[in-house]
């Protein structure tokens, strides 16, 4: 009989660490930054004066909620589905307006974290006792698939925060396609896209002097230390940001200050770094109308209306199925 060796099954994080740190150039996926500590650091980033994105989108939702709501099926009612609801701070502005005009709708926040949803549920009960809501825990697409036959009325799908910017164009198109597949002709996709602007403004948003963004980026290494028994010396790396004004791509790196070896016990892996060797960790894409239109058309979506922040830094687009 053949000896039976148990096949090793790796988690998505472990797979990303193995491939990302053994390839050249090295890379790690930014989606793994978001554990409890990463979530907290991202909250701090959103409150930084340099991180203009949050305030711009907040202003759009605050000042233009009536014009946005005109796109919703106020007569027949609608379901407002938010992918990645978080604390709902910006969405509450829209909920405020919708309650004021006594709109007939159900708010369906979707999040992977039950913890986040429980907190949001309590806040909604206290602040919006008259708003109908249902908390949906799960991955965006599992939930969207279930929702495609949920109700016969209009679906308004919200994706705020320029989260799409963390995807390369190819993956952004796939993301839009998956949403489009779950839409009917009357449905609306309302999504935030950070815009191209003065390059230094972008760099400053991803390179704060207090090192919050650096800590956020380094949380990837900390997670490897915590969860995979690694021995990364966080002080032996620094955060570096670049922005290419032609492509609109901001890139985050961790750069090794010296030649060093890192051991990751759980994966039985030794990783060697040369001095100045990089780990690419995140892209934060900035857009213009042409690029958004191109991405949307690749996913068979068309721009129905654009809502712009006063300074032009940020736009929310309403899309319909083509």
Residues forming the site for ligand AVI (CB under 6 A): 45, 53, 161-163, 165-166, 206, 213, 216, 282, 284
Q: Least distance in Å: CB of 158 to ligand AVI?
A: 14
Please, which residue, 155 or 315, has the CB nearer to ligand AVI? Answer: 315
Q: Least distance in Å: CB of 90 to ligand AVI?
A: 13
Q: Least distance in Å: CB of 241 to ligand AVI?
A: 9
Q: Least distance in Å: CB of 2 to ligand AVI?
A: 48
C-alpha atoms less than 13 angstroms from C-alpha of 140 in its C-beta half-sphere? 18
Please, which residue, 280 or 321, has the CB nearer to ligand AVI? Answer: 280
Helices H / strands E in the chain, number of each:
11, 14
Q: Are strands 154-159 and 188-194 parallel, antiparallel or unpaired?
A: parallel
Please, which residue, 100 or 244, has the CB nearer to ligand AVI? Answer: 244
Alpha carbon separation from 53 to 33, 61, 130, 187 (Å, rounded): 19, 13, 30, 26
Q: Least distance in Å: CB of 34 to ligand AVI?
A: 8
What are the start-end ranges of the E strands in the chain?
A: 26-27, 78-83, 105-111, 132-133, 136-137, 154-159, 188-194, 237-244, 249-256, 260-264, 269-273, 278-285, 301-308, 314-321
**169 within 8 A of 94, measured Cβ to Cβ:** no
Q: Least distance in Å: CB of 164 to ligand AVI?
A: 8
Q: Least distance in Å: CB of 161 to ligand AVI?
A: 5
Among 147, 130, 149, CA closest to 138? 147
According to DSSP, residue 2 is labeled: P
What are the phi and psi torsion angles at 303 (to 5°)? Answer: -75, 125
Q: Bridge partners of 292?
A: none
Please, which residue, 180 or 284, has the CB nearer to ligand AVI? Answer: 284
Alpha carbon separation from 99 to 87, 94, 103, 153 (Å, rounded): 19, 9, 6, 18
Token pair, residue 191, equals: 């999504």
Which residues contact residue 55 at a Cβ distance below 8 angstroms, ignoring those fewer than 6 apart? none
Please, which residue, 180 or 213, has the CB nearer to ligand AVI? Answer: 213
Please, which residue, 56 or 267, has the CB nearer to ligand AVI? Answer: 56
Closest-CB residue for ligand AVI? 284
Q: Least distance in Å: CB of 198 to ligand AVI?
A: 16
């Amino acid at each position: 009989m053949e000896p039976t060796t148990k096949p090793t099954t790796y988690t998505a994080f472990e797979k990303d660490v193995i491939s990302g740190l053994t390839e050249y150039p090295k890379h790690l996926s930014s989606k793994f930054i978001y554990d409890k500590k990463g979530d907290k650091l991202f909250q701090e980033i959103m409150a930084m004066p340099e991180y203009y994105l949050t305030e711009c989108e907040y202003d759009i939702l605050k000042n233009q909620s009536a014009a946005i709501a005109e796109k919703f099926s106020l007569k027949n009612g609608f379901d407002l589905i938010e992918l990645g609801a978080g604390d709902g701070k910006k969405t509450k502005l829209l909920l405020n307006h919708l309650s004021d005009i006594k709109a007939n709708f159900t708010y369906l926040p979707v999040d992977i974290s039950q913890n986040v949803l429980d907190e949001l549920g309590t806040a909604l009960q206290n602040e919006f006792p008259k708003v109908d809501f249902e908390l949906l825990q799960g991955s965006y697409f599992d939930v969207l698939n279930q929702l495609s036959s949920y109700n016969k009325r209009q679906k308004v799908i919200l994706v705020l925060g320029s989260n799409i910017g963390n995807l390369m164009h190819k993956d952004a198109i796939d993301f839009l396609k998956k949403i489009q597949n779950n839409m009917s002709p009357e449905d609306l996709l309302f999504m935030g896209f950070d815009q191209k602007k003065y390059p230094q403004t972008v760099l400053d948003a991803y390179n704060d002097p207090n090192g919050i963004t650096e800590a956020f980026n380094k949380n990837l290494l900390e997670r490897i230390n915590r969860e995979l028994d690694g021995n990364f010396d966080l002080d032996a790396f620094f955060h570096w940001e670049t922005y290419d004004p032609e492509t609109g791509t901001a890139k985050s790196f961790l750069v090794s200050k010296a030649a060093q070896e890192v051991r990751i016990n759980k994966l039985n892996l030794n990783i060697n770094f040369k001095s100045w060797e990089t780990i690419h960790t995140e892209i934060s894409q900035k857009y213009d109308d042409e690029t958004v239109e191109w991405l949307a058309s690749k996913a068979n979506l068309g721009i129905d209306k654009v809502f712009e922040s006063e300074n032009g830094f940020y736009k929310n687009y309403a899309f319909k199925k083509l």
